Amino acid sequence: MSRAPLNIGYLPLVDAAPLIIAQKMGFADTEGIRLALHKQPSWSALRDGVALGTLDAGHMLSPLPVAMSLGLGGLPTAMDALLVMSVNGNVIGVSNGLASKMRSNGWREDFRDPLATGKHLIRASGRKLRIGVPFPFSMHAELVYFWLNALGLKTPDELDVRTVPPPHMADAIAANEIDAFCVGEPWGSIAVETGVGELILPANSIWTFSPEKVLAARRDWIETNPAETRALMRAVVTAARWLGDPENRLVASEILAQPGLIDVPSEVIDRALSGQITSKPKALAHRVPRFLEFHASAANFPWRSQAAWIASNIAARVGLDRTEAMRISMACYRSDLYRANLTDLGLDMPGASAKMEGALAQPTPVASAKGSIILGPDAFFDGSIFDPGKGL
């Protein structure tokens, strides 16, 4: 295999950790590849870099390969998700003024209650809510639309959704350009640290097991470079498994905090890794189980049903044929390559590549090659269940 480095794009987020750890802990070397990691200023820059070939692969928002494969938002490109790098990990926050107004209207700061908190947010906003998300095709946007629509807001028409790169989210709320945000860590905590906002929900209170970032590459690059694809997948999933061990947490936070990487204090990064989220200055931290999952519960498996859920929602919003969008999306979540390239790492493989999303309220054993996989919970806050078989 060539020892030329693979050029991989990422944004400075805690959930970029599997790529960073794969490089720093030598897991890429073990697989015979070198990683050149390139920090990107925005998701559009990363998308274009992968689409145009200046990057070989990237840390990518889970809806982005779906959107690109549907010809939305930039150059139409057949883009595949090789594996899920992280599940959950986002927070929803508001300006200090909006938090005060919610509180004066009776909000009891129910950090894990999306129903009560969402109703107070809608009531207190008093106008078309301006909410920042990192990219139009992101799990952040999908969760916000899903959440507020279920509470009676007609989305997207009754929302003013604005794109703000994650590192600039605190600045945007300080400048009164947005009223609220949904963003990945550590950038929600930075808004708290700088005193410009409060966190009102962890996003996993809306969907308890949402695929957040994927390792993605162009389909033609994957077909042309099968050995590099296999090695990259193995290095990243080995890093994700390492990150899933709580004993490695402090080492991970120190590595991620290094200058040139995420470059914020390690104690702020550790909030996401430990699931101890501080919602406002001087407050006790909220313990949020499974706030950010790197490996457990088959977190890295690219479920085609998750791609179908994303595509179904995007299609409804932009006016595409839902059946065709779901068909295309399920083909770009590469559970076939996941099985082919990673089984001999000792990973247990689910017996199916799609499942009913939202159906598991409790941890549940499922059919798998070794019989050791326990999934879930993966419930939506409103109790809905998504069947990927309907409409196909």
Q: Are 13 and 184 in contact (CB under 8 A)?
A: yes
Predicted local confidence at residue 391, as pLDDT: 58
pLDDT band at 2 (very low <50, low <70, confident <90, very high): low
- Tens of pLDDT along 362-386? 999 999 988 889 998 999 999 999 9
CATH class of 90-209+272-287: alpha beta
Residue 221 in tokens: 């690059």
Predicted local confidence at residue 230, as pLDDT: 98
- Tens of pLDDT along 22-77? 999 999 999 999 999 999 999 999 999 999 999 999 999 999 999 999 999 888 89
- Tens of pLDDT along 254-267? 999 999 999 999 99
Domain limits, the chain: 6-86+210-260+293-353, 90-209+272-287
DSSP state, 333?
A: B
Question: With 90 as the cut, is the pLDDT of residue 392 above it?
Answer: no
What fold is seen in the domain 6-86+210-260+293-353? D-Maltodextrin-Binding Protein; domain 2 (3.40.190)
- Provide the β-strand partners of residue 8: 37, 57
Question: DSSP E strands: which ranges in 100-194?
Answer: 129-133, 159-163, 180-184
Predicted local confidence at residue 48, as pLDDT: 97
- Tens of pLDDT along 69-100? 999 988 889 999 999 999 999 999 999 999 99
Residue 240 in tokens: 């994700």
| Helix axes of 226-243 and 335-342: crossing angle, nearest 10 degrees | 80
Separation of alpha carbons 104 and 97, rounded Å:
11
125 conformational bin, left if phi > 0, alpha if psi -120 to 50, beta if neither = alpha
Q: Is 90-209+272-287 the same fold as 6-86+210-260+293-353? A: yes
Predicted local confidence at residue 99, as pLDDT: 98
- Tens of pLDDT along 287-317? 999 999 999 999 999 999 999 999 999 999 9
pLDDT band at 1 (very low <50, low <70, confident <90, very high): low
Question: With 70 as the cut, is the pLDDT of residue 324 above it?
Answer: yes
* Residue 126: exposure state from Cβ atoms within 10 A (0-12, 13-18, ≥19): exposed
